[in-house]
């Protein structure tokens, strides 16, 4: 085609055609050659007794991505839900993207941690296995998940670093003949920790799952991940428990402009940035509502991107590890970056 004609057509093509409206099953590429569905169901703090119904409802409603973790203490119920949807023929195993995470007390026994999650979930393989935090904790402490020292602080295991944990995950991902994980990644990694990891890594993490919303855009992490080919998944998109971000005035203004709910704006913000997003709900009507995504325009994004400067950076999820994880909004603590 004549180059000036193609330039003209590009300039006059509606933006909606160039950037089609994302849908919940829009697939985003991973550096493994695979892909991840743009929207997943979160399961943290989804109580046993509620999470099975939530997962079944989500799959029936079209979700194809479930975010789990051993630490959530509900993987057996998620597994029961998956068993049911597979048996009822609603979806096949290969049509659902299942993520789980290696908990901090399992850094010295990654295969055991993985096998425990696979057993609870009733699966032969995971689509993605993440290191939940770059912080090893005592595997033989006074609590299986949250061991503490007598002074009440978290019982950190200083016998290994997150880099050794990553090397053990790499071995799992490259085991033959068929690895039990299709992809490995990390969560809660700052640029500082990622830089140290990449110096030694043979496999670049497929994903970095981080807290992300307009009060905590983490632009430096998102940009760094993009440069290194690491996909970002945004967690706590509504500001976690009680969804405080939904009340934000500017979010509501954007929602009103597009005649959608505040949740749609908060989820669509990540799609506009090339990230996937994993809202949690155990409420059927909200699980349905959270499927809706739209294309936000530059004006909307500018408004949302200015929010953390106007209101201050706010991080809703920051466990008391006592460790400096390299995030500029949370200085202090021991440096374990290696
Ligand atoms: N890697 C990590 O360290 C972390 C990962 N995650 C993952 O991300 C997921 C999402 O983050 P999470 O912290 O749970 O919080 P979210 O930001 O997803 O918010 C969840 C809260 O919002 C409510 N909610 C959901 N949808 C709506 C709606 N449409 N209208 C009003 N309220 C709504 C939920 O209530 P209800 O359920 O009662 O409907 C719940 O109280 C987690 O579940 C987990 O899978 C989260 C934190 C850390
Ligand atoms: O994924 C969710 C969060 O990371 C959660 O697992 C942690 O915040 C945990 O409750 C902790 O206290 O360390």
Query: Is the pLDDT at 87 greater than 90, yes or no?
Result: yes
Q: How confident is the model at residue 25 (pLDDT cuts 50, 70, 90)?
A: confident
Query: What percentage of the chain exceeds 70 in pLDDT?
Result: 94
Identify the pLDDT of residue 175. 87
Active-site hit among 72, 189, 193, 215: 72
40 near 277, Cβ under 8 Å? yes
- Range in 12-21, 29-38, 108-117, 296-305 the model is least confident about: 12-21
How far from 289 is each of 101, 255, 265, 280, CA to CA, in Å?
27, 13, 12, 12
Q: Which two tokens stand for residue 251?
A: 């979010």
Q: Cα-flanking dihedrals φ and ψ of residue 161, to 5°?
A: -110, 165
Query: How far does residue 70's CA lie from ligand 1's centre (Å)?
Result: 17
Ligand 1 atom closest to the CA of 242, numbered from 1: 41
Query: Is the pLDDT at 31 greater than 80, yes or no?
Result: yes
The per-residue pLDDT for range 247-289, each reduced to its tens digit, is: 999 999 999 999 999 999 999 999 999 999 999 999 999 999 9
330 near 192, Cβ under 8 Å? no
- What residues flank ligand 1, with Cβ below 6 Å? 42-45, 67, 132, 187-188, 209, 235-243, 246, 263, 278-283, 286, 289-290, 317
Which of 3.20.20.100, 3.30.450.40, 3.30.230.70, 3.60.15.10 would CATH assign to domain 25-243+275-282? 3.20.20.100
| Residues 6+ positions from 246 with CB-CB distance below 8 Å | 238, 239, 262, 263, 266
Ligand nearest the Cα of residue 215 is 1
The per-residue pLDDT for range 89-135, each reduced to its tens digit, is: 999 999 999 999 999 999 999 999 999 999 999 999 999 999 999 99
| Residue that has been written with the tokens 């294309």 in this structure | 295
The per-residue pLDDT for range 170-195, each reduced to its tens digit, is: 999 998 888 999 999 999 999 999 99
Query: What percentage of the chain exceeds 90 in pLDDT?
Result: 91
Whose alpha carbon is nearest atom 1 of ligand 2? 44
- What residues flank ligand 2, with Cβ below 6 Å? 44, 69, 71, 317, 319
Mean pLDDT of 48-59: 96
Whose alpha carbon is nearest atom 27 of ligand 1? 286
Identify the pLDDT of residue 9. 47
Question: Which class for 109: exposed (0-12), middle (13-18), buried (19 or more C-beta within 10 A)?
Answer: middle
Active site (annotated) includes residue 269? no
* Top mutation candidate among 70, 71, 131 for ligand 2, by most atoms within 8 Å of CB: 71
Query: Is the pLDDT at 13 greater than 80, yes or no?
Result: no
Question: What are the residue ranges spanned by the domains of the chain?
Answer: 25-243+275-282
Ligand nearest the Cα of residue 137 is 2
40 near 276, Cβ under 8 Å? yes
Ligand nearest the Cα of residue 244 is 1
The terminus-to-terminus CA distance of the chain in angstroms comes to 53
Instruction: Name the binding residues.
Output: 132
Query: Is the pLDDT at 308 greater than 90, yes or no?
Result: yes
Question: Which class for 124: exposed (0-12), middle (13-18), buried (19 or more C-beta within 10 A)?
Answer: exposed
Q: Which residues pair with 82 in a beta bridge?
A: none
DSSP state of 13: S
- What rounded mean pLDDT belongs to the chain? 94
Mean pLDDT of 217-228: 98
Identify the pLDDT of residue 3. 44
* Top mutation candidate among 317, 325, 330 for ligand 2, by most atoms within 8 Å of CB: 317
212 near 234, Cβ under 8 Å? yes
Q: How confident is the model at residue 19 (pLDDT cuts 50, 70, 90)?
A: low
Query: How far does residue 241's CA lie from ligand 2's centre (Å)?
Result: 12
Which is more confident, 48 or 46?
Answer: 46
Q: How confident is the model at residue 23 (pLDDT cuts 50, 70, 90)?
A: confident
Question: What string of H, E and C letters represents the secondary structure of 249-305?
Answer: HHHHHHHHHHCCCHHHHHHHHHHHCCCEECCECCCHHHHHHCCCCCCCCHHHHHHHH
Query: How far does residue 236's CA lie from ligand 1's centre (Å)?
Result: 5
């Amino acid at each position: 085609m004549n180059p000036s004609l193609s330039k003209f057509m590009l300039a006059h093509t509606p933006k909606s055609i160039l950037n089609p409206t994302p849908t919940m099953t829009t697939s985003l590429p991973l550096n493994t050659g695979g892909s991840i569905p743009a929207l997943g169901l979160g399961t943290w703090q989804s109580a046993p007794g509620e999470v099975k119904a939530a997962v079944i409802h989500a799959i029936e409603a079209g979700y194809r991505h479930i975010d789990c973790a051993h630490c959530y203490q509900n993987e057996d119920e998620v597994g029961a839900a998956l068993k049911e949807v597979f048996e009822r023929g609603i979806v096949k195993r290969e049509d659902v993207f299942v993520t789980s995470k290696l908990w901090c007390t399992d850094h010295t026994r990654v295969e055991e941690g993985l096998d425990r999650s696979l057993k609870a979930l009733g699966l032969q393989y995971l689509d993605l296995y993440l290191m939940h935090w770059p912080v090893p904790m005592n595997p033989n402490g006074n609590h299986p998940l949250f061991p503490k020292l007598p002074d009440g602080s978290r019982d950190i295991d200083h016998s290994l670093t997150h880099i050794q944990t990553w090397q053990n995950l790499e071995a799992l991902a490259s085991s033959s003949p068929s690895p039990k994980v299709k992809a490995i990644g990390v969560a809660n990694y700052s640029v500082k920790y990622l830089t140290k990891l990449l110096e030694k890594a043979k496999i670049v993490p497929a994903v970095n799952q981080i807290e992300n919303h307009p009060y905590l855009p983490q632009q430096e992490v998102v940009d760094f991940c993009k440069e290194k080919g690491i996909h970002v998944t945004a967690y706590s998109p509504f500001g976690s428990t009680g969804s405080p971000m939904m009340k934000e005035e500017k979010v509501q203004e954007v929602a009103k402009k597009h005649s959608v709910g505040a949740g749609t704006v908060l989820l669509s913000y990540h799609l506009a940035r090339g990230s996937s997003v994993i809202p949690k709900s155990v409420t059927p009507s909200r699980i349905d509502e959270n499927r809706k995504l739209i294309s936000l325009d530059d004006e909307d994004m500018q408004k949302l991107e200015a929010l953390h400067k106007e209101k201050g950076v706010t991080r809703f999820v920051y466990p008391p590890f006592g460790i400096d994880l390299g995030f500029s909004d949370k200085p202090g603590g021991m440096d374990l970056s290696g």
